[in-house]
Structure 1
């Protein structure tokens, strides 16, 4: 996917930024597709800082549009069903400063899916303005870490090799634990 996107961005360089933003917005709306491949493509085509900025802009615009669409499409349906669960209800009813800090914190955590944070915020009571600022501020360090990691891996530096080794080890541990868990459940 990344190679295809790089090819498209290079081929249509006059509108490459617009294409990149549109792809990022679509990824945000779908909410389950990782954005790391578009970040990698942006870094390869535009360079580190410009590529990171374009990724940030695309993710921010995508988050705002996703928030608006999710709120219009899911708030009434999902909100009423989730209110039956006290902990979820508390999260969905967080407002103001508490909502800002919660969204900011969740954006800083790299293992929390961005689409999940946007969806929970949209079906909750947080305002668009609070979501916009908390989400955007939280995306800055998270995206810088992602961009740095992608840059190191694509340039195959020592840090990139270390990052891939750690990710491989974590993936291997995860697979072994799941296999072990499944074996215990089947006995």
Structure 2
């Protein structure tokens, strides 16, 4: 996927930035597709700082568009049974100060899906202004960490990439066993 994006950028250099931003918006709207492949492509094609800034702009733009779409399409869902769990209600009913702090803290954590944070903020009581500012502040350290990580991975030798992949798969299997997704007996 990453290589296809790089080729798309390289064959369309005059609109590569626009393509990257549109892909960021699409990834944000879908809410479950990881953006790491796009970040990697941005870093390779536009350099570290250019790729980092473009990835940041794309993440902010994508979250903004998603917020409006989710708010328009799903606002009435916050009264359904799916949102009656106490922790979800806390996020949905948070005042602006609480929502601001929650959004920043959830954006910084790399394992919390961005789409979920945007969705809950959009269907909850969070104003657009609170969401936008908190999202931008929280995305700064998140995108810097992601960009540095991707940049380092791109520059590892083949042997190290194999080792990191094996380690990552091992950690994933371990977590899945702990959560109970893998290894259940019928």
TM-score, length basis structure 2: 0.90
Q: In structure 2, what is the Cα distance between the partners aligned to 1:169 and 1:143?
A: 25
Gapped regions of structure 2 (runs ≥ 5) = none
Deviation per residue, 1:4-27 (Å, 9 max, x gap)? 000000110011101100001110
After superposition, residues 28-177 of structure 1 pair within 5 angstroms as 28-76=28-76, 78-81=77-80, 82=82, 84-156=84-156, 161=161, 164=165, 166-177=167-178
Deviation at 1:176, TM superposition (A): 4.8
| 1:179 counterpart = 2:182 | yes
Deviation at 1:89, TM superposition (A): 1.6
Deviation per residue, 1:29-73 (Å, 9 max, x gap)? 111110000000000000011001000000100100100000000
Say whether the 8 Å CA contact 1:60–1:135 is kept in structure 2: yes
Gapped regions of structure 1 (runs ≥ 5) = none
Say whether the 8 Å CA contact 2:109–2:142 is kept in structure 1: yes
Deviation at 1:171, TM superposition (A): 1.8
Q: In structure 2, what is the Cα distance between the partners aligned to 1:170 and 1:43?
A: 26
> Does the C-alpha gap of structure 1 residues 95 and 80 become closer, same or farther in structure 2, counting only changes over 3 Å?
same
> Does the C-alpha gap of structure 1 residues 32 and 164 become closer, same or farther in structure 2, counting only changes over 3 Å?
same
Q: In structure 2, what is the Cα distance between the partners aligned to 1:130 and 1:33?
A: 25
Q: In structure 2, what is the Cα distance between the partners aligned to 1:40 and 1:83?
A: 35
Say whether the 8 Å CA contact 2:173–2:182 is kept in structure 1: no
Q: In structure 2, what is the Cα distance between the partners aligned to 1:143 and 1:175?
A: 26
Say whether the 8 Å CA contact 2:25–2:63 is kept in structure 1: yes
Runs of 4+ in 1 over 2 A off after TM superposition: 82-87, 160-169, 174-180
Say whether the 8 Å CA contact 2:108–2:138 is kept in structure 1: yes
Deviation at 1:166, TM superposition (A): 4.2
TM-score, length basis structure 1: 0.90
Say whether the 8 Å CA contact 1:6–1:41 is kept in structure 2: yes
- The residue that corresponds to 1:17 in the other structure is 17
